């Protein structure tokens, strides 16, 4: 077996300074902003903390994220007001969905206050944005009601196994699965709709749990999504032979229960949808659906409409980026809303990222002096 080499260095990537346009050059945003490959900007993922109470080996391996790891000091993080201002400027460019992530977002104190601020914002069409959250679920039982009251639209819970021993091993903090399941129940009881559960499938680690997970959530109104284990960041020792292609996930499930393909809900959707079928072979809505996110074997860069804001205010244009744009410098400087909006526009217009499409033809490591950002830094 190839030896795992884990670099013990600061993982945060290089930073680029956005150009601050002159006030006279600030054209009001139209919502029709396109990047260099014709992709609109619709989805902003906001990472609110680089800390987490889990140590999933595919994301924050203990060997790197140990007691010596230097997390960002609180003053470096964007305040809720700075995040809300940035989100407002992105909404003016046509963003409709704001997803809070991390690290573990529920570790950020009073997160519901941020949710309430974001829920007050309006899209270009005058609607409330879709404010969603991705969480490991460990604190959800305590927080679900307050989040719902604050205006959270939806929640996605990451859960890699129902088997307590496997789950404890995968989170590497001996955290019991029952507490995450209680969090999911609390989210349902609080009235959060369209709950999703994300399972990262690692061949040889939890792929034997695919069927149990599918059966557990079938017919509950919760959509389970199987995510291919990705080569994101530089610390998880990723190997292709640990990826179980989504086609194989579907084939395995179809041997037990009938599934039919469904059409996408929206352009840019990361998951391919499959519906549980009834005896007549047609999708039975009461049985619900599953999704597969095949970032490794079937790239979906072609309509990727997602931008990512780190907890310290850097803008990244791809999950596999090695460089981010320092919007915090503008937020904390004298830049006006118009100037920041114009800077965002020119950054997005210059975007040509499509890492997953190019993966096979790229070297396994980022270039010299470059380091890919970590998933725990930029969120999913
Ligand atoms: N801590 C929260 C959680 O786990 O839901 C939010 C942040 S986490 C980085 C966001 C998502 O990224 C989770 O669903 C997690 O399973 C997924 N993820 C992390 N590392 C991954 C990897 N190497 N491949 C695929 N998905 C990964
Ligand atoms: Fe934490 Fe989420 Fe990463 Fe797991 S996937 S270590 S829960 S940030
Ligand atoms: Fe989007 Fe980058 Fe992922 Fe492609 S690799 S889908 S551009 S985030």
Query: Has residue 296 been placed in a domain?
Result: yes
Average pLDDT over residues 321-344: 95
Query: Has residue 192 been placed in a domain?
Result: yes
Supply the pLDDT for residue 377: 84
At residue 276, does pLDDT exceed 70?
yes
- Cα radius of gyration rounded to whole Å, the chain: 20
Query: Has residue 3 been placed in a domain?
Result: no
Give the residue, by CA position, lying nearest to ligand 1 atom 19.
59
Give yes or no for residue 59 CB within 6 A of ligand 1.
Answer: yes
Give the residue, by CA position, lying nearest to ligand 3 atom 2.
318
The model's pLDDT over 237-253, given as tens digits with 9 standing for 90+, comes to 899 999 999 999 999 99
Supply the pLDDT for residue 32: 85
Supply the pLDDT for residue 195: 98
Is 156 in contact with 135 (CB distance < 8 Å)? Answer: yes
Strand bridging mode 306-309 / 314-316: antiparallel
CA distance linking residue 45 with residue 319, whole number of Å: 11
Supply the pLDDT for residue 10: 56
In 49-142, DSSP assigns E strands to: 97-101, 130-135
Supply the pLDDT for residue 216: 98
Query: Has residue 1 been placed in a domain?
Result: no
Supply the pLDDT for residue 9: 46
Give yes or no for residue 209 CB within 6 A of ligand 1.
Answer: no
What does pLDDT average to over the chain? 92
- 3-state DSSP of 257-303: CCEEECCCCCCCCCCEEEEEECCCCCECHHHCEEEEECCCCCCCHHH
At residue 277, does pLDDT exceed 90?
yes
At residue 125, does pLDDT exceed 80?
yes
Angle of CA points 136, 138, 139, to nearest 5° = 115
At residue 296, does pLDDT exceed 60?
yes
The CATH number linked to 251 is 3.20.20.70
CA distance linking residue 378 with residue 48, whole number of Å: 9
At residue 2, does pLDDT exceed 50?
no
Is 228 in contact with 297 (CB distance < 8 Å)? Answer: yes
Average pLDDT over residues 13-17: 85
Provide the percentage of residues in the chain whose pLDDT is more than 90: 79
At residue 342, does pLDDT exceed 50?
yes
Q: How many folded domains does the chain comprise?
A: 1
Task: Provide the whole-model pTM.
Answer: 0.94
Give the residue, by CA position, lying nearest to ligand 3 atom 7.
354
Comparing CA positions, the residue from 82, 76, 86, 52 lying closest to residue 66 is 52
Domain extent at residue 126: 11-378
Query: Has residue 88 been placed in a domain?
Result: yes
Of 37-51, 112-126, 295-309, least confident by mean pLDDT is 295-309
Among all bound ligands, the one having the nearest atom to the CA of 105 is: 1
Query: Has residue 106 been placed in a domain?
Result: yes
Give yes or no for residue 310 CB within 6 A of ligand 1.
Answer: no
Query: Has residue 144 been placed in a domain?
Result: yes
| Cα 135 to middle of ligand 1, angstroms | 9
Query: Has residue 6 been placed in a domain?
Result: no
Average pLDDT over residues 34-55: 97
Give the residue, by CA position, lying nearest to ligand 1 atom 17.
380
247 Cβ contact partners less than 8 Å away, ≥ 6 residues apart = 294, 297
């Amino acid at each position: 077996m190839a030896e795992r080499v884990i670099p013990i260095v600061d993982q945060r990537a290089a930073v680029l300074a956005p150009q601050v346009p002159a006030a006279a050059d600030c054209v009001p945003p139209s919502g029709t902003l396109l990047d260099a490959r014709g992709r609109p900007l619709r989805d902003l993922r906001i990472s609110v903390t680089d800390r987490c109470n889990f140590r999933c080996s595919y994301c924050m391996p203990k060997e790197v994220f140990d007691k010596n790891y230097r997390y960002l000091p609180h003053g470096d993080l964007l305040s809720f007001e700075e995040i809300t201002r940035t989100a407002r400027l992105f909404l003016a460019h046509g963003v409709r969905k704001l997803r809070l992530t991390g690290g573990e977002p529920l570790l950020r104190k009073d997160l519901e206050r941020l949710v309430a601020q974001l829920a007050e914002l309006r899209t270009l069409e005058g609607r409330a944005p879709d404010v969603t959250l991705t969480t490991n679920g460990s604190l959800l039982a305590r927080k679900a009601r307050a989040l719902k009251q604050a205006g959270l639209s939806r929640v996605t819970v990451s859960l890699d196994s129902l088997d307590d021993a496997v789950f404890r091993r995968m989170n590497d903090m001996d955290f019991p699965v029952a507490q995450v399941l209680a969090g999911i129940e609390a989210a349902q009881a609080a009235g959060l709709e369209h709950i999703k559960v994300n399972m990262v499938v690692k061949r040889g680690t939890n792929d034997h749990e695919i069927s149990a997970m599918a059966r557990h959530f079938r017919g509950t109104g919760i959509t389970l999504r199987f995510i291919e284990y990705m080569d994101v960041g530089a610390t998880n020792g990723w190997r292709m032979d640990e990826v179980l292609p989504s086609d194989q996930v579907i084939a395995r499930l179809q041997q037990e229960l009938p599934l039919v393909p469904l059409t996408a809900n929206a352009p840019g959707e990361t998951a391919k949808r499959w519906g549980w079928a009834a005896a007549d072979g047609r999708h039975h809505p009461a049985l619900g659906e599953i999704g597969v996110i095949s970032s490794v074997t079937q790239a979906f860069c072609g309509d990727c409409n997602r931008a990512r804001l780190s907890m310290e205010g850097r803008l990244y244009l791809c999950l596999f980026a090695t460089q981010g744009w320092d919007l915090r410098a503008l937020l904390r400087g004298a830049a006006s809303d118009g100037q920041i909006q114009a800077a965002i526009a020119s950054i997005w217009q210059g975007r040509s990222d499509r890492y997953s499409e190019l993966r096979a033809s790229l070297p396994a490591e980022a270039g010299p002096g470059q380091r890919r950002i970590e998933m725990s830094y930029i969120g999913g």
